[in-house]
Structure 1
Amino acid sequence: MMKKKLSFDELVKKNKEELLADQQLLEKIEKRLDEKYTKPKK
């Protein structure tokens, strides 16, 4: 049972790290889109 608890904690930690990475990726994409659409077209 202890082993299962440990692996669950590891899974939660891993998920949080993945969520954080996804969040940063989304922010990068949003920034790029903002730059693309806010720059005056030549």
Structure 2
Amino acid sequence: MKQKIFIAGSALISLVVNLFGGWDTALETLILFMGIDWFTG
């Protein structure tokens, strides 16, 4: 079950990245800080 959730999440992230025109440094930075913000509450 955990693996299926990770696969679905990866597919969704890939779709979003492709819609924004690919993975660049600005998008990587945004995702990084969003993750940090989410983990720290």
Q: Which runs of 5+ in 2 are unaligned?
A: 23-41
2:31 aligns to what?
none
Could you give the per-residue CA deviations for residues 1-42 of structure 1, whole angstroms, max 9, x where no partner exists? xxxxxxxxx0000000000000000000007xxxxxxxxxxx
Higher helix proportion (structure 1 or 2): 1
TM-score (norm 1): 0.49
d(CA) in 2 for partners of 1:11, 1:25: 21
Runs in 1 of length 4+ with deviation above 4 angstroms? none
Q: What residue number does 2:15 align with?
A: 24
Aligned length: 22
Q: Which runs of 5+ in 1 are unaligned?
A: 1-9, 32-42
Output the amino acid matched with 1:11.
Answer: K
Could you say which structure has the greater relative contact order, defined with CA pairs below 8 angstroms and 6 or more residues apart?
2
